[in-house]
Chain A
Amino acid sequence: MSSVQNMSDLPQSAPQPAVKADPKWFVMGGVVSIVAWLALVPLFFLIYQSFRTPGTARKPAIWTLGNYLEAYSSSDTLVLFANSVEFAAGTAILALVIGTALAWMTERTNTPLKPLFYALSIIPLIIPGILFVVSWIFLASPKIGLINLVLQKLFGTEKVYVDIYSMAGMIWVDGLHYAPIAFLLMTAAFRAMDPSLEESAMMSGASMWGIFRRITLKLAFPAVAASFLILFVRSIESFEVPALLGLPVGIQVFTSAIYDAIHSYPSNIGLAAAYAITLLVITMGGIYAQSRITAQGGKYSTVTGKGFRPRTIDLGRWKYLTLAIFIVYALLVVILPFLVLLWSSLQKYYSVPSWEALQNVSLAAYMTIINYPSVGTAVWNSFILSIGSATTVMVLTAVVCWIVLRTKIRGRWVLDQIASVPLVLPGLVMGLAIMVCYLAIGGGIYGSIWILFIAYVTRFLPYGMRYNTTSMVQLHKELEESAAMSGASWLTAFRKVVLPLLKPGLLAGWIYIVIVSVRELSSSILLYSPGTEVVSIVIWEMWQNGQYVELSAFGVMLIATLFVFVMTAQWVGKRFGVKEN
């Protein structure tokens, strides 16, 4: 007989005395425990660690507030904080300005070549952050930067025009790197906006600029503010840019300070944890503010649910200006970085483009990469990890979303929150938390490839949640209920109706998680050990070793592979995916 609790909880459940327990409860119970473990336990250990002294063979670890005292008493922390905020805010503003302008041009104007541009806009997403930073070092470092060399030759001076190793350089590179994300966020915002609101402004006699400034931007304000916060959190979490551009010249932000604290000798994990907690508080504040703004966005109510086709503004001759902006953007974000990597990969030793250098073009670096000892292992590890974690995340979150959206279990929203916890954890903080956690628990997970798997699954849970939520919300509840009325058990209905209908969303989320897993560096860097390197780690090591040409060759191969993967996956999705009606 079912318990009283069951009686009120669920519409469809296993009730009669004779029937054995429904497999549904095992599946759901298992998934809930896994998600709760992944998202919460490392966080607990991180907080615990921040209150402990480093334990050594002679001195056992004890409780302490020393880590926080050390972190907050020094005036360096103030600088650290100021640097972090300056860097993150600068990056977010730059990315947002670029992204908003581009989104407005593609969504609301008749700029030529728009469809091509939209297709191009996903390419930056497949370039790993570390490769993007390296290519910009090739372009704009004071000594070897192509931009400086070209300008120096042109004006016959020795003057350094641009210096990537500066706060401005960091903001420039990270801002460009996040511009595609800002573009996607703002595109969604423009699409949700009823163009008749702009049309009525036009009928009232407003100029084009007036409409953009007084109507479009104002309506987009909640989206702009929310996007700014998302970008701010993302940039304060960035690791590649501060590590490669900031650390060499002593500009420290929280992420690089955490990395430094762990990698200095003796490593100070307690101090790193104290920094990590501070960073966590900042990101939590950002995400909280963002969710508040999004929730209150209702009063702007730009989404009417009515289908409308956004009308585009005829820019006249100005459309060549916007086209030029597109081209410059594509040059800065995709073409120049890729070309400079390609050039460098075809050299034996890194040298700037010249006639002599052109004579020395060779494929030697590619040969070196193919025979490089750790490359084979790293590629295999990345392959297994990305496929494994993407599949695991999508299946886990499909069940979580189902529980959150389809059942009436009390407190199911808590599950939603738990699965979203990793969203506020910067990659480096997540890596640290997982490291501390599994060092304490033992069991041989630390040092094996499983720890990377755990990190990736945890880190990308929120992405899986987002993709699954979007497609499950669209899936009418009655499609499942009719399966139940037809006599199908929960498992049959889930397998034969829910999963096949979620397929397009599952596939899109899966592709995305595969890509971000391959790119992942900031968690992996604290968790890998010899034998469990992944591709981003190999690139990192090559950079540290000064193997620039080999790094470039590997980077070119990696970008090409990811590009082919995305194209194939999308083609497969179109070909064999479910037709959406």
Chain B
Amino acid sequence: MLTLKGLNTEYPSQKGPPVKAAQDVTFEVPAGKFFTLLGPSGCGKTTTLRSIAGLERPVGGEITVNGLTVFSAEKRIFIPPNQRNFGMVFQSYAIWPHMTVFANAAFPLEVRKNKLSKNEIREKVMRVLSAVALDQYAEREATRLSGGQQQRLALARALVMEPQLLLLDEPLSNLDAKLRDRMRFELKRIQRDLGLTTIYVTHDQGEALALSHEIAVMNEGRIVQIGTPREIYDHPRTKFVADFIGTTNFIDGVALGKDGSSGRWTVRTPIGDLLVHTDQALAADMRVTVSIRPEDVELLEEPAAAANGQNLITGLVDQKVFLGDMVDFQVKVNDYTLLSRAHPSLRTPIGDKIYVRMNPEKCVAIPDLSPARAAA
């Protein structure tokens, strides 16, 4: 439905060459899907969204929506944002303070070329306002809405135009934590109900995992990995992705070789030899980093019989933090501190010996491509 090919967007800078905000961004979003651009601030996710909207003019690449090219550097096509019919919710909501709730939501219908009658506008606006539960506030001054209500009004304004594409720029980031959780469900429900193709920008990995069909993780202007929330979380392809999404243990090591029967690689690390999972081509003696999530580091007080093919090592409890619904353990294994997230029922005292079990499926080996370490 939406296709981006080799998108490049630059900003002029005061001195020196222009800033390359988005480089070679390519992805495809099928109709009705919720697609998220995820990354830290300055990674180019908002620039990419604004390029799709037409608020930025890319210097290269092509954007196609439903077979219609809205931007192409090569063919010199650029459809201005006001003719693209995309709905957009801005980070600041951009609710116009000089208008009522109704006037804000009715604006897209009032400025469009083929005018609707007053009654039709009224009907459509009220329908969309009631969808976001704002119908009883229609005549209120927009500035007198709460943060969450303004956010829903911004959504209503984007939806009333029956857009081909819904663009959301960190819409939940200005809300407090509880409201954010509620709006997250709300947003998901509305998107799934209407089947609107949606592009969502966020730096919050939790939001991205909760809402999306597919996630593109961006860093320094480039997409580093695209996949379903599970793929991204379970099998990060770079250290950056592993680190950015959730908490993880990084263990540096060297690939030894492939085990014949299981087809798994073994990696020599400071905490011992580990069987690992990898999607990428490894070679013997290659430097790799093993990433394992704290919740996948299983702690056992008894040397339980490790099922075949599991990684089993021993360590000492160094520190623990009780968090209510879980306990964070820091386990020392040969000078290396491993973080583990355990059930609160585990009450091993500090200084005691403990057994650590890790499923090789969850130990993801990432080839280390940084030149500094490769040379070392």
Contact = CB atoms under 8 A, between A and B. Distances in A.
Interface in A1-58: 1-2, 7-8, 10-16
B106 to A, nearest CB: 10
Contacts of B92: 476, 478
Interface in B84-125: 85-88, 90-94, 96-98, 107-108, 111-112
Contacts of B12: 408, 410
Contact of A12 (B81, B96, B97, B157): B81
Interface stretch (A465-473, A481-489, A543-551): A481-489
Contacts of A7: 57, 73, 76, 78
B77 A486 contact: no
Given A488-B111, A581-B143, A479 B94 contact: yes
A415 to B, nearest CB: 16
A351 interface: no
Contacts of A485: 53, 55, 81-82, 86-88, 158, 167
Given A482-B88, A501-B96, A16 B108 contact: no
Nearest to A488: B111
A486 B157 contact: yes
A13 B80 contact: yes
Contact of A492 (B88, B111, B161): B111
Nearest to A14: B80
Contacts, number: 110
Q: How large is the interface on A (under 10, 10 to 19, 20 to 34, 35 or more residues)?
A: 35 or more
B97 A481 contact: no
Interface in B53-77: 53-57, 59, 73, 76-77
A478 B143 contact: no
B157 A8 contact: no
A98 interface: no
A485 B91 CA distance: 14
B83 interface: yes
B108 A10 contact: no
Contacts of B55: 11-12, 481, 484-485
Given A12-B55, A478-B91, A2 B76 contact: yes
Contacts of A487: 82-83, 85, 108, 111-112, 161
A500 interface: yes
A8 B77 contact: no
Contacts of A578: 97-98
A10 B154 CA distance: 26
Contact of B107 (A2, A10, A486, A579): A486
A410 to B, nearest CB: 7
Interface string A486-526: 11111011001100110100000000000000000000000
Nearest to B71: A15
A221 to B, nearest CB: 27
Nearest to B87: A485
B82 A489 contact: yes
Nearest to A15: B78
A232 to B, nearest CB: 30
A476 B59 contact: no
Interface residues of B, number: 39
Nearest to A500: B98
A496 B73 CA distance: 32
B190 interface: no
A1 B157 contact: no
Contacts of B108: 486-488
Contacts of B158: 485
Contacts of B88: 481-482, 485
Q: Name the residue among B59, B77, B80 with the largest chain A CB count within 10 angstroms.
A: B80
A501 B96 CA distance: 8
Contacts of A580: 97
B171 to A, nearest CB: 12
B97 to A, nearest CB: 5
B79 interface: yes
A578 B80 CA distance: 30
A482 B157 contact: yes
Contacts of A486: 82, 107-108, 111, 157, 161
A484 B80 contact: yes
Contact of B59 (A8, A15, A478, A496): A8
A175 B87 CA distance: 58
A500 B107 CA distance: 14
| Residue of B81, B161, B167 with highest tally of chain A CB at under 10 A | B81
B57 A482 contact: no
A11 B94 contact: no
Contacts of A501: 96-98
Interface in A210-249: none
Contact of B57 (A11, A14, A476, A483): A11
Nearest to A3: B76
Contacts of A492: 111
A481 B158 CA distance: 12
A2 B73 CA distance: 12
B143 A579 contact: yes
A578 B142 CA distance: 12
A500 B98 CA distance: 7
Interface in A47-99: none
B70 to A, nearest CB: 10
B94 A484 contact: no
Interface in A432-456: none
A492 B107 CA distance: 11
A548 B77 CA distance: 72
Nearest to A12: B80
Nearest to B91: A478
B165 to A, nearest CB: 11
A496 B103 CA distance: 11
B169 to A, nearest CB: 8
Contacts of A12: 54-55, 80-82
B81 A481 contact: yes
A15 B77 contact: yes
B90 A482 contact: yes
A580 B76 CA distance: 42
B79 A15 contact: yes
A7 B72 CA distance: 11
A488 B157 contact: no
B97 A11 contact: no
A497 to B, nearest CB: 6
B111 A11 contact: no
A501 B141 CA distance: 14
25 contacts: A1-B76, A7-B57, A7-B73, A11-B57, A13-B80, A15-B76, A410-B12, A476-B94, A478-B90, A481-B53, A481-B55, A483-B107, A485-B87, A486-B82, A487-B82, A487-B85, A487-B108, A488-B108, A489-B82, A500-B98, A501-B98, A503-B98, A579-B141, A579-B143, A581-B143
10 cross-chain pairs, A with B, having the tightest CB-CB distances, nearest first? A486-B108, A478-B94, A482-B94, A478-B90, A15-B78, A488-B111, A485-B88, A581-B143, A484-B81, A500-B98
Given A16-B79, A481-B55, A581-B97, 7 more contacts: A2-B76, A484-B80, A486-B157, A487-B83, A488-B107, A493-B82, A503-B98
Interface of B: 12, 53-57, 59, 73, 76-83, 85-88, 90-94, 96-98, 107-108, 111-112, 141, 143, 154, 157-158, 161, 167
Interface of A: 1-2, 7-8, 10-16, 408, 410, 476, 478-479, 481-490, 492-493, 496-497, 500-501, 503, 578-581
